[in-house]
Amino acid sequence: MKTPDIPPDEDARLAELRSLNVLDTIAEERFDRLTRMARRLFGVDVALVSLVDENRQWFKSCAGMELSEKPRDISFCGHAILGDGAFVIPDALQDERFCDNPLVTGPPHVRFYAGCPLRGPGGRKLGTLCIIDSKPRAFSDEDVEMLVDLALMVEREFSAIEWATVDELTGLSNRRGFMMLAQHSLQLCTRQNIPAALVFIDLDHLKQVNDQLGHAEGDRVLVTFAQHLMKAFRGSDVVARLGGDEFLVLLTNHSEAAAEKAMARLQRALDATNEAQARGYDISFSYGLVEFDPKRHHTIGALISEGDSLMYKTKKARR
């Protein structure tokens, strides 16, 4: 068996995949519709939207199979993302790269595979739209064209995700993006008994900056602050701009004390920037930190609203 090579742009590719915030999210009809269509059009057992993560392939959509992920080193898709066109294996048993692959010798007993690389909005190959069958088959040029067309439709959905879930000014998740990611993370925390904490942040005196120095300077404050948030927290934390000058961070596998530590780190970094940039005003913020309690916080809305009131109390007390 041949394990797939690592593409030369692997770091940038993984960064784009992660920034799309689609890994480990719930199934969505707009992708499921396309895999169902692929399965029916080609008359195959399985069609997948498969994303190639660092060590696994994770399926955003899966028609005809109940799996959610498989190791990358035995994946066909890991090979498919190395090229630009469709990657077709008419009969895996006749191909020395795959004949003893556990996906071929065991379930789902892949004999035929065709995968078309899926590019993200930034142009990196994030995974494939692929079809699988337990019988060998030929794949004509016309079939290739049809698979490529379907893959373009999946790519369009990825662009829509980015457009709908990312805040244009700061590049952070927007409210919708946060809700999608937080819902999933909190469900996981509840199930696995993992601690989580939410921080509700509101910048101080942004109106004054806008009024005295102009809206563009206000925008710069928002962007600078967002960059500090991204640096202060881990890639696995959900950082978002809720709207206006309000931000949210959901820290998973973090107690309240550890979250306070991360906030102190943010404060120190911001202090250093304020001193270095000497703009004539300082960027400052107020926050409320809530430890997630599944017994009390039945919805994300309840968690956010508690963070909001705590933030407001702190802001009032500081003045």
Ligand X SMILES: Nc1nc2c(ncn2[C@@H]2O[C@H](COP(=O)(O)OP(=O)(O)OP(=O)(O)O)[C@@H](O)[C@H]2O)c(=O)[nH]1
Residues near ligand X, by CB under 6 A: 169, 202-208, 210, 215, 218-219, 222, 244-245
**Cβ neighbours of residue 98 closer than 8 Å, sequence gap 6 or more:** 1, 2, 76, 89, 92, 104, 110, 113
Nearer to ligand X, 167 or 291 (CB): 167
Give min distance, CB of 209 to ligand X, in A: 7
Give min distance, CB of 245 to ligand X, in A: 4
The gap between the terminal CA atoms of the chain, to the nearest Å, is: 67
**Cβ neighbours of residue 127 closer than 8 Å, sequence gap 6 or more:** 17, 49, 50, 51, 52, 57, 60, 77, 81, 117, 118
When CB distances to ligand X are compared, the closest residue is: 218
Q: Which helix (H) or strand (E) holds 112?
A: strand 112-119
Q: Is the peptide bond before 108 cis (omega within 30 degrees of 0)?
A: yes
Nearer to ligand X, 143 or 204 (CB): 204
CB 97 within 8 A of CB 79: yes
Query: Cα–Cα distances in Å, from 226 out to 105, 115, 145, 172, 270?
Result: 49, 38, 42, 7, 11
Candidates 133, 167, 237, 245; catalytic one: 245
**Cβ atoms within 10 Å, residue 316:** 9
Phi/psi at 2 (5° precision): -110, 125
Q: Which of 34, 46, 37 is nearest to 131 (CA)?
A: 46
Active site residue 245: yes
Nearer to ligand X, 186 or 289 (CB): 289
Give min distance, CB of 285 to ligand X, in A: 9
Give min distance, CB of 291 to ligand X, in A: 24
Nearer to ligand X, 246 or 291 (CB): 246
Give min distance, CB of 238 to ligand X, in A: 20
Nearer to ligand X, 6 or 163 (CB): 163
Burial class (CB in 10 A: 0-12, 13-18, 19+), 79: buried
Nearer to ligand X, 147 or 270 (CB): 270
Give min distance, CB of 316 to ligand X, in A: 9
The catalytic site residues sit at: 245
